[in-house]
Structure formats: structure tokens, C-alpha cells
Structure 1
Amino acid sequence: MSDGIDRVWLDEQFSLDRIEDIEQVFARRAEAARFGRANFDYVSAVPYGPHAAHRLNIFPARNTSGPSPVQLFIHGGFWRSLDADLFSFLASGFVPFGATLVVIDYPLMPRARMVDVVGAAGLAVEWVAGNIARYGGDPDRIFISGNSAGGHLVAELLDRAGTGIRGGAALSGIFDLEPVSRSFQNDSLMLTPEEIADFSPAARALDITAPLIVAAGGMETEIFRQQTTDFAHQCGVEPLIVPGLDHITIVLDGLADPAADLNRAVRRQMGLLAD
């Protein structure tokens, strides 16, 4: 395959253009986020570090008599877009079932570099471990999840010693950065060879001991499904390919829906479901 064809194929793989009715999906996501902020108590833009983007939102658990397990979510957007507020809809899938939800922001590329993004995610976990008890959360039961770029950051956090994370869910993650660097996404990301080498979990030996869920939507592009499958096998777990879901709805209709198998798997990992 020539370089030209490679670029065309990779551009298609890392694009959302194949999602049907994408504008309606975005509108539904925005409305669900507004519902989450209107119907659940939350504390917004809590600083976890010195950078203006070191901020997180906390949705304290309901229906719990003691400290609650914590679900910390890291949004996607190819490390350069989106924000925590947009994912407030996740509260519906966790808060009523006894979990405290934390959704983080982080410095965005290309002004920030990958080391800054990964470092921010680690700093957020450290802050939650040291402070979440004030909001009813249990610092000894921190679980993390993320999609797309956030799925990548889940892998990076779980592979770094000392984070104290009890489990994770990497959804539609980008675990090998090299193909991204040959797509249109890199026109703005400007990934360096050093970043690709240092921050590609798929290209190094990993030390992940916490329970791990690795999932993608069955309607995602081939490269996302393949990277999910390959990374799951690398970590010694079975990939979860969810039929009917795409790169956006894997979070909106999978992770956030308490009736969905993916949400139930994550709550089971947290000890909130016995079956």
C-alpha cells in the first residue's frame, strides 16, 4: 500500500464522519449533559493543580450510608478538545447507585504536550486520593475510565506505579500513537517521535495489575476495534466489542446507561453489583 493510500485510509479511520446522524448524536449528548447538571448535585471546576485546565467536577454519590467508591472519568477529543462539563451525563449511570463521579479536564494539545496531558491525569488521581473524602468518596476505592484519548490515558495511569487505582475501563482507546501521527489528526497534534515512543502503551511491556475492562463499539472504525482487541490481549483480558455502538455512543449509551452491559460491568468492577 502506498503512503498516499495509507494516509487516506488512516484519515478515514480517525474521523467521525462515518457516524450516522452525528449532529443529532452531538445534540443528544449535549442535552444529556444539561440534564446531568440540572438533576444531580455537583461541585464544578475544582482545582487539582496549578494550571488553568487542572479542574474537575465532582458529583457526590446518592443512596449510600458511608464512603462511596469513586469513578473518575477522562474525556476524549484526541487530547486537544472537549471538556468535563460535556460528560456530566455520566452522573445518571453512577451517582444513583452509590458511586461518586469525578470528571476531569486537562491541558489540551498542541499547546500542551503529551507529557503534560499524562501528568495532569496522574495529578488528578493524586488529588482525588487526598481530597475526595471531603465529598463522601472513599480514597481507597478509586476506579478510572475514559474514552478515545481518555482510554489512552487510562492505560497510561494503570501502567504507572503508585497511583493506587483499584480498576479501570479503557473505551475506544488509542494505544498505539504511530498511526495517528500519519493521519490528519497530527496536522494539529504535531506528535513527535519521542512522544510516540514514550506514550504508546501498545509498544512497550506493561505492568498493569488492577482489574481492567477494554471495550469499543461494534460500529467503530476498524482501527479502533483492532487497537482495542490488540490491547486487551496484550493485557491478558478479553475485549468487549459492544454491538450497535459507535465512538460517541459507547459513552453516551454504553457507559452512562445503567441498563447497558458496559455500565453494569464497570459497576460490578466497583463492587456495586453482585451479579
Structure 2
Amino acid sequence: MTKTDGSATSERADSLRPLSPRGVKQLAEFDGNAVRPRDAATVVLLRDSPRGVETLFLRRQSTMAFAAGMHVFPGGGVQGSDTEPGIPWVGPSAQEWADILGCPAELAGALVVAAVRETFEETGVLFAGPDGGTVVADTSTADLREARADLEAKRLSLREFLLARGLVLRADLLYAWAHWITPAQEPRRFDTRFFVAALPDGQRVGAVPREADRTLWLPVRAAADAARAGELEMMAPTSHTCRSLDGLAEVAELAAAAVRPLVTIEPKVVEIAGRYYLDYPPPNEF
């Protein structure tokens, strides 16, 4: 933790995110031994609307152990089945993703699989199709609803799901956007790659998953402003990502916007005049 004396300006504090009461408690209890973060993937789903570019949020159940009540993007941790060989795949290879994500090829492939799997489990949106030029148009069929439940319950792997239906994973529909690591003092930590993707043509968000109590689409700027005003509960990476996407006029600009270095952000706690804040670079530094 960095400590700054009382001479620090209020402007400095205003540019940082105050540490929540829960975060202050965790900081007080932190013994200096950080938990190893779990690899995870998050997908920022985007669509065009009359209100501008919108993104999808899930509000997590208030009873959840992690991020309770927070508005989050679809995503979750990498599972063992995400590394299974022989997953039908089109688009950038695992090695190409490794070069983009800055990690070994096996992990890069697993992150892409986890991103696709978690998005389907949590939203019903599926980045897969019969071939490299199509996607499943209707993911609301009884068969696919049952498959979502089986994937979520770990009765089915994504590889098994795709092979049984003659589908291929569309890795070309995802773009790497950000890389966040949970602060060291947190008891639950994640090493998360954020992907961005357009909502596939014809697909709709399905029923709310067990971990959430609602879904909603919001313009990225409105979401960031609501989070800053305290009107919408979000973790720092979520609101930061919304702000970083604010410059998109339409989803078609996504591919060009995603061509940039992937910067790893691990927020640090700073103390200014007796108060604690999370310090991380603003979106315009990317």
C-alpha cells in the first residue's frame, strides 16, 4: 500500500475510487500473503441502439459470496474441461491468442473457451455455428436450453456440446480488450481477460441464470455515469471498461478499436489524508 501525506491535493483523491467499507475491512485483515488469482474470462456483449452502443449487465444475487448485488458482465473462471483437446474451432488459433493475451497457448485457448462457455451459460448467447461464416440463429430451443443447464451444472463440456450438434466455436467473433487482476488484499482473486463482442445477428439474451436476479442493456456512457454517481453498483473493472468503450459510435468500430496493446491492471491501495483509495490508470491511458 502507498501512503501519501496530507499535502496531497483533493484533485488527486477525486480521481481515484474510494475503497468500500468491505475493502477497508479486508485491508485491515490482510496479512501480506496474497491468494493466487484464478484465471477467468469475461465477455462484454455490445449492440447498437438508438441510445448508442449498449452493453449487457447481469445483476448478481445478493447472496453470492463474490460481487454480491453487483452489475457485472457475463463471465467466470476457467474450468478443467476448457482445456480439452479437439474442440472444433475457427478463427485465431490458441497460439495467436497467446500472442494477444500475453500468456501460454494452452491458457489462451482455455480463456477463449471459458469466455464462450460462460457467455452461453449465463445469457444464452452462443459464439458458435455450423461453419466459420454463420452462428446459431435461435438459441432459445428446448435442446439448447437444456444444454445451457447441463453446461452450468458441469454435466457437459463445451467440446461435447459442440461436437454433438456439429457446431464450431467462433473465436473470430471475440476481441481482447483488457486484463485485470484482483487487488492483493482480496480473499477471492481473479486474473481476468476481458473480451468484447457484438451480439450475434438474430440471437437474444435468454432466461436469467441462477447467479443473477436480472439482466439489462444500458448505453456504455450511461452505465459508467450511473456507477460513478452511485446509482448502479459495479466493481472497478466493470465501470472502467464502460468508460473505455465510450468512444464507440457503433459496434462496427469494435474490430479497429481492439487493435491495441493489452495492459495488465492490478489496482493498488493508496492512503491519502487518512482515507483509502484504489489506484489504477484511467481509460484514456490505453
Q: TM-score range by the shorter chain?
A: under 0.3
Rg comparison, structure with higher value: 2
User: In proportion to residue count, which structure has more strand?
Assistant: 2
User: In proportion to residue count, which structure has more helix?
Assistant: 1
Q: Report the TM-score when normalising by structure 2.
A: 0.25
